[in-house]
Amino acid sequence: MNFQEKISILVESKREASIELSNAIWAVPELHFQEKKSVQFMKEALEREGFATEVGVAGLETALMGTFGSGKPVIAFLGEYDALPGLSQKGGVTSYEPLEEGGSGHGCGHNLLGTGAFTAAVAVKDYLEQHNQSATIRFYGCPAEENGSGKAYMAKAGLFDDVDIAISWHPGTFSTVMTCSSLANYAATFKFTGKSAHAAAAPHLGRSALDAVELMNVGVNYLREHIIPEARVHYAITNSGGTSPNVVQPYAEVTYLVRAPKKQQVQEIYQRVENIAKGATLMTGTSLEIEFEGAASNLIPNKTLYDAMYKQLLEIGMPTYTIEDEQHAQAIFKTFSPDIQASALIGLSREDTMLLKDQVIAQHIPGILPEFILGGSTDVGDVSWNVPTVQCTTVCMALGTPLHTWQVVSQGVMPIAHKGMLQAAKIMACTAIECIHNPALIEEAKKEWEERLDGETYASLIPEGTKPPKR
């Protein structure tokens, strides 16, 4: 029996406990830095499996580290458990039915992500015990991936300095390895303070904070022509200063998110955005306070590791799906607009597209994609600047399902999601065992990592002196 078969047996032995943990986290969707119940679930699960745990690492109340074993190599499994606002949804249904109007939901599948990484760590621990082998296995419970970049705080605190490789995954619609980089980002809230006045009787006495917000937004929109096309600048007016048009608004705020392929590019664009905000205060006679919200570095891919992980994916193969799985996925697929349905296979090779075009659950494993820049951001990027990092995705939802939607939440407690979660656990665990068995693979991954950094050292985008948020 090869180690892939042994790992599969170990993961399957934890099937019911893993599903129960994932569903428990799904049932208490908690926003960034508020994941108090979820981290407690993870802590208790780790301790039942013999891991030593510490909550509150890096000064983050809902960050967790679980450790088993000793010596080299040190293998990190990255887990998440934060939810998204406004995505409350009943599980298992094929229409929009929120459990709580305006409530939160696991619209990115982090209930699965955290549990899958946990199950992988446990499987590796059990394997090492069975074979009397030594290594240090760590599970990192990482809060606020969506808004706040918990891993960036953990990396800044040096929690990955002694790690040899880091392994993670993400729920998706294909089972493959991630060959992408990602966009670095920086988020801040601009809080303008003016002076209230009666908008009809004494408008000359007022200084409108809302005017400052609007002028800032106009200025940034003119900036778009003069930044690199790969950059992204998003904003949301988070406080308009009131609802009465007959009052000059004394306070208003807007939150900005700046993205670009490289950290330096993000910093340069953000500085220009900040200067525009300062200009808006001069135009309106208001004052400005800037509050840091979060930042993430771009992801450094590692071909050595994703090639090794892809071999494990092929060895593990795909789960078996039932007629009921297919029917439910088909019903979900029908809720998507025609343009989303049509884009489900974009980016794949012609051969893979032909093999997948009639599947609503992607049961074919696509070939490894060429490296590309992901249109989004992830705080896994900060980990990858500190240690060679690898990730996979597995099928946890119907083909074409967009992340951050109610359809993800609905499918997050269904068998398709649990099958993908356990498949990911097997792939991650087998990748770790392959590295433990083959130390030269780790050294090759480190050499590639150093070459990709090309002498550049990690510098966190979190401003010096910034304290981790408290909720």
Say yes or no: do domains 3-181+298-453 and 184-296 share a fold: no
Pick the CATH number of 3-181+298-453 from 1.10.3720.10, 3.30.460.10, 3.40.630.10, 3.10.50.40: 3.40.630.10
- Over the chain (471 residues), what is each successive 10-residue block's mean pLDDT? 96 98 98 97 98 97 97 98 97 97 97 98 98 96 93 97 98 97 96 96 96 98 97 97 94 98 97 98 98 95 98 98 97 95 91 92 95 93 98 98 97 98 98 98 98 95 87 63
Q: What is the DSSP letter of 379?
A: T
Instruction: Outline where DSSP puts E strands in 152-280.
Output: 165-172, 176-177, 184-193, 232-239, 251-260
Residue with tokens 């009921």: 324
Question: Which residues contact residue 3 at a Cβ distance below 8 angstroms, ignoring those fewer than 6 apart?
Answer: 127, 430, 433, 434, 437
The two three-digit tokens of residue 65, written as one number: 């580290």
Residue 181 has φ and ψ, to the nearest 5°, of: -90, -175
What pLDDT shows up at residue 124?
98
Sign for the pseudo-dihedral over CA of 261, 312, 394, 105: negative
What pLDDT shows up at residue 97?
97
CB 394 within 8 A of CB 268: no
Q: Which CATH class is domain 184-296?
A: alpha beta
Q: Where are the alpha helices (DSSP H) in 285-337?
A: 303-316, 323-333
Residue among 433, 373, 363 at smallest CA distance from 73: 433
Q: Which amino acid is at 41?
A: F
What pLDDT shows up at residue 432?
98
- Assessment of whether the complete model's pTM goes beyond 0.85: yes
List the beta bridge partners of residue 67: 52, 138
CB 112 within 8 A of CB 417: yes
What residue ranges do the domains of the chain occupy?
3-181+298-453, 184-296
What pLDDT shows up at residue 147?
85
What pLDDT shows up at residue 467?
84
**Alpha carbon distance 390, 198 (integer Å):** 58
Sign for the pseudo-dihedral over CA of 93, 97, 101, 105: positive
**Alpha carbon distance 216, 219 (integer Å):** 5
Residue among 199, 202, 266, 198 at smallest CA distance from 228: 266
Residue among 78, 72, 166, 179 at smallest CA distance from 388: 166
Question: Which residues contact residue 471 at a Cβ distance below 8 angstroms, ignoring those fewer than 6 apart?
Answer: 33, 34, 61, 62
Instruction: Outline where DSSP puts E strands in 11-98.
Output: 52-55, 64-69, 74-80
